[in-house]
Amino acid sequence: MQNNYDVIIIGAGAAGLTAGIYLSRAKVKTLILNEGAVGGQMVLTHEIANYPGVENISGYELARNMKSQAQKFGCKIRSNIKITDIQLTEEIKQVTINNKETFTSDAVIISTGGKSRTIGAIGEDKFKGLGISYCATCDGDFFQDKEIIVVGGGNSALEEAVSLTKYASKVTVVHQFDHFQAFEHYVEEARNNPKINFKMDSEIVEFSGNEKLNAVRIRNKISGDISEMNIDGVFILIGYVPNTEMLRGIIELNGNNEIKVDNNMATNIPGVYAAGDSIAKRFRQVTTAVADGTIAALSCAEYVHNNKKEPLEV
């Protein structure tokens, strides 16, 4: 059957592509199904300078290289699809996509990664691209000499707040807690920047404007007071959430909706593995995703081999 594979990998970020490379090179018939563009969170990084052996590369280029490497070994990749149904508990796994095509396999690796966390405040969808951005390096230059807000208190938020002062006349960091989660040197750099000020214990509850964003309503979480602030732009940099909605009730997740795995990247379902940013772990880097993908692929290849009793060429 043409749509039958040894392994289906769901997600084509660093973890999924790495698993694709390992499995295809081992002659394991592999299909990667990916709901977005190939590369996942890697593509969101303009410059990667800490990937061992590669001094400097854009996230896009690294993703493209990984994709091409996987395809060279025979891995099939279908991107920009939508998964409409997934059956993981039976011996033969089954994944159906939006055009009604169904694929089956002996094993599945889930590497669905994460997506930018949104605030969920009123008006957020409406003003995306019209004042609200999730990518400081992409859209910073639209806010030359304008007043902006950066939402968040982690490394990305404070690093980008400093970076955005190259363009903006004033940057207000809005953070929901009374302290930052970022490394101390990012906090210090932000605090020492005269263009940056802070609204702690605060959250945006509404975005407003006509054709573009021009104000936000901010609630102080301690007092409950709501204030309005005129603003030209808001950068929302509050981390990522795992793409695991489709797995709820199917696979074991933790309280953060991250997939629980063991040391072999095995989930609670036989033949189902997970890797990358969608699993429960502390550090999320391209290198850790690559490591997860490798382990998942090797474990998965062993599972397929044991099921089929065919020679394994890993």
Partner 1 sequence: MLQTNLTHVASLTEHTELLNNNENVMICCGRMGPMCIPVYESMEELENEYSNIKFADMEFDSPDAKVIRELPECRNFAGLPFVVYYKNGKVVKATSSIQSRDQITEILDEKFGK
Residues of this chain that interact with partner 1 (CB under 8 A) are 36-39, 43-46, 58-60, 79-80, 82, 128-135, 137-139, 142-143, 211-212, 233
- For the bound state, the minimum distance from the C-beta of residue 38 to partner 1, rounded and expressed in Å, comes to 7
Closest CA to 70 of 21, 30, 25, 37: 21
DSSP for residue 51: B
Q: Which two tokens stand for residue 165?
A: 């002062």
Chain centroid offset of residue 283 CA: 13
Full DSSP string of 70-125: HHHTT-EEE-S--EEEEE-SSSSEEEEETTS-EEEEEEEEE---EEE-----BTTT
DSSP for residue 183: -
- For the bound state, the minimum distance from the C-beta of residue 79 to partner 1, rounded and expressed in Å, comes to 7
Cβ contact 97:77 at 8 Å: no
The CB density around residue 122, as the number of other CB atoms within 10 Å, is: 13
Q: Identify which of residues 25 and 67 has a Cβ nearer to partner 1 in the complex.
A: 67
Q: Identify which of residues 79 and 307 has a Cβ nearer to partner 1 in the complex.
A: 79
Q: Identify which of residues 42 and 218 has a Cβ nearer to partner 1 in the complex.
A: 42
The CB density around residue 68, as the number of other CB atoms within 10 Å, is: 10
251 phi, psi to nearest 5 deg: -125, 155
Q: Identify which of residues 185 and 212 has a Cβ nearer to partner 1 in the complex.
A: 212
Q: Identify which of residues 103 and 127 has a Cβ nearer to partner 1 in the complex.
A: 127
Positions annotated as catalytic residues are 135, 138-139
- For the bound state, the minimum distance from the C-beta of residue 266 to partner 1, rounded and expressed in Å, comes to 31
- For the bound state, the minimum distance from the C-beta of residue 96 to partner 1, rounded and expressed in Å, comes to 16
- CA dist 202 and 175 (Å) reads 6
- For the bound state, the minimum distance from the C-beta of residue 80 to partner 1, rounded and expressed in Å, comes to 4
